[in-house]
Structure 1
Amino acid sequence: MASVTVELRNVEGTQAAMGWAGAHTLVVDRPEGRAGGKGLGFNGAQLLALALGGCFCNDLRYVAAEMGVELGRIAVSVTVELEGSPLVTTAAAMTVSCEMLDGSDPQALIARAETSCMVSNSLRRGIAVSIRPAD
């Protein structure tokens, strides 16, 4: 079984957090004026949508490589629906456009990427989440 760990720490002088995995970083914050947020980075809903869309973009490339085709422009848009208190994501919708450099229809490639996308498959199946204090 494979695993991935990311780390997050507060950013000194702000109420934002810096997250990293290896050499890659991003800032997490609340919108300006919300619970001390300054809008310095992505909020949780945006990160969830980015994870879904980013994973799908990667899978489009993986599947294209497996099929021996080259892709040009890729455009993915993800909308997550939020409701309730506490706020939860109740649905996600993604639209995908990709250009096949050979001029063929990308629908088969998009369908194959959908079957292999780790984030969308995980969300559809549900995952166990545990939260506990550090030792």
Structure 2
Amino acid sequence: MTRMQVQLRSIGGTGAALGWAGAHTLVVDRAEGRAGGTGLGFNGGELLALAIGGCLCNDLHYVAQAMGIAIESIGVDVELTLEGAPLLATRALVRVEVVPVDPASDIVALIERARQDSTVSNSVARGIAVDFLTA
């Protein structure tokens, strides 16, 4: 079993929060004027879409290395659909483009294997338990 942990803390004088994992940081906020948001960072939906796409980008590199495929470039676009009240993510449409160094590389197989291995999209698709503890 692998465990990962992140922390988030409010940024004084703003409506935003700073999130970090190890030495990596990002700012989480709401759109300017929405519930005190200042537009300084990503909202939750954007973070979810970035997690889906970012995880896939990493998996494309892992799988390409395992398959012996050199990659020139990767493009991943994620469109997240949110509906209802409370607002829920109901669909993620992921567009993937991989340009290999060798045009004869099996990019279809690469993308399919990476999709099958993608931790975030597989977790979202299958559902995960989210438990809350209060301090």
Q: Sort the TM-score into its range (normalised by shorter chain).
A: over 0.9
Quick one: distance in 1 between partners of 2:9 and 2:85?
Answer: 26
What's the CA shift for 1:118? 0.2
Q: 2:114 matched to which residue of 1?
A: 113
Matched residue pairs, number? 134
Q: Is residue 68 from structure 1 mapped to residue 68 from structure 2 by the alignment?
A: yes
Quick one: distance in 2 between partners of 1:32 and 1:85?
Answer: 21
| Paired amino acid for 1:8 | L
| Paired amino acid for 1:92 | A
Quick one: distance in 2 between partners of 1:32 and 1:101?
Answer: 43
Name the SS of the counterpart of 1:94 in structure 2.
strand
1:60-99 equivalences in 2 (<5 Å): 60-99=60-99
Find runs of 4+ consecutive structure 1 residues off by over 3 angstroms: none
How does the TM-score come out when normalised to structure 1?
Answer: 0.97
1:17-96 equivalences in 2 (<5 Å): 17-96=17-96
| Paired amino acid for 1:60 | L
Quick one: distance in 1 between partners of 2:71 and 2:129?
Answer: 35
Structure 1 residues without counterparts, runs of 5 or longer: none
What's the CA shift for 1:37? 0.4
What's the CA shift for 1:124? 1.1
Name the SS of the counterpart of 2:120 in structure 1.
helix
Quick one: distance in 1 between partners of 2:83 and 2:39?
Answer: 21
What's the CA shift for 1:125? 0.8
Name the SS of the counterpart of 2:18 in structure 1.
strand
Post-superposition Cα deviations, 1:53-91, rounded to whole Å, max 9, x if no partner, equal 000000000000101111011100001100111111011
* Aligned-CA RMSD value: 0.7
Structure 2 residues without counterparts, runs of 5 or longer: none
| Paired amino acid for 2:9 | R
